[in-house]
Amino acid sequence: MLSIQGLRTFYGHIEALKGVDLEVQQGEIVTMIGANGAGKSTLLMSLCGNPRARHGRVIFEGRDITALPTFEIVRLGIAQSPEGRRIFPRMSVLENLQIGATTAPQHFADGLARVFRLFPRLEERSQQRAGTLSGGEQQMLAIGRALMSRPRLLLLDEPSLGLAPMVVKQIFQVIRDINAQEGTTIFLVEQNAYHALRLAHRGYVLVNGRITMSGSGQELLANREVRAAYLEGGH
């Protein structure tokens, strides 16, 4: 479904991604783990065209989307729930979800029903200002807003960041449900390596803009280097 080939992205003269190659097959949950500053968020943003990769290619369902504007990429079936959630705090929950549906307005009612089925709390809070939600509820809203465009590939950037352990378990269960029940392919970027690798079919390790390791989620969980770098000291 997604093929990234030799991707190099820069901020000014600083090379953030140094020739990344990876693949995501239809129906998979693929996770990328790495320390803060490894380039994980930059990779997801580059897939969506901002910042634009200087070298390499992004192929989605056989089509080169490397140079396409972000709105076209969303129309083709890719949506992102960004790091930090980036909801609109003064707007209601429902208004935030409406913004997510701008590329698929004809499917708004179906999309809304789907999001409320996954996140019943958002239905209860639908008229509430998004800025008054708890951190976990805001994360649910960010994921729900991304789902409103009916993506075939959902990009999730640090969905567990800053959340209490019980809420983290809930968010990861919903991610599993989106994949298993809805059939949505998921590319997940996470610092919480334990939960991410338990969830994922396959995973990649990103270190300083380069992929250093890949394998099944279970293989990476059992890998001594991965355990030492990302898992020791509890989860």
Report whether pLDDT(232) > 80. Answer: no
- pLDDT band at 97, cuts 50/70/90? very high
Q: Enumerate the domain spans of the chain.
A: 2-231
Residue 219 pLDDT: 97
What H or E segment, with its residue span, contains residue 225?
helix 224-226
Phi, psi of 81 (to 5 degrees): -100, 110
Q: What average pLDDT does this structure show over 144-148?
A: 95
Crossing angle for the helix pair 93-100 and 108-118, to the nearest 10 degrees: 120
pLDDT of 235? 47
In this prediction, residues 196-207 reach a mean pLDDT of 96
Label residue 206 by pLDDT band (50, 70, 90).
Answer: very high
CATH of domain 2-231: 3.40.50.300
Q: How confident is the model at residue 233 (pLDDT cuts 50, 70, 90)?
A: low
Q: pLDDT tier at 66 (50, 70, 90 boundaries)? A: very high
Confidence band, pLDDT 50/70/90 cuts, at residue 37: confident
Q: d(Cα 66, Cα 27) in Å, to the nearest integer?
A: 22
Which residue shows structure tokens 């820069």?
Answer: 10
- The closest alpha carbon to 30, from 235, 160, 201, 153, belongs to 201
25: which DSSP letter?
-
Q: How large a percentage of the chain has pLDDT more than 90?
A: 83
Which pLDDT belongs to residue 93?
96
- Listing DSSP states for 87-141 in one string gives --TTSBHHHHHHHHTTT-GGGHHHHHHHHHHH-HHHHHTTTSBGGGS-HHHHHHH
Q: How does residue 234 score in pLDDT terms, banded at 50, 70 and 90?
A: very low
**Per-residue pLDDT at 98:** 94
Average pLDDT across the chain, whole number: 93
Cα–Cα distance between 74 and 65 in angstroms, integer? 11
HSE on the CB side for 135, CA within 13 Å?
13
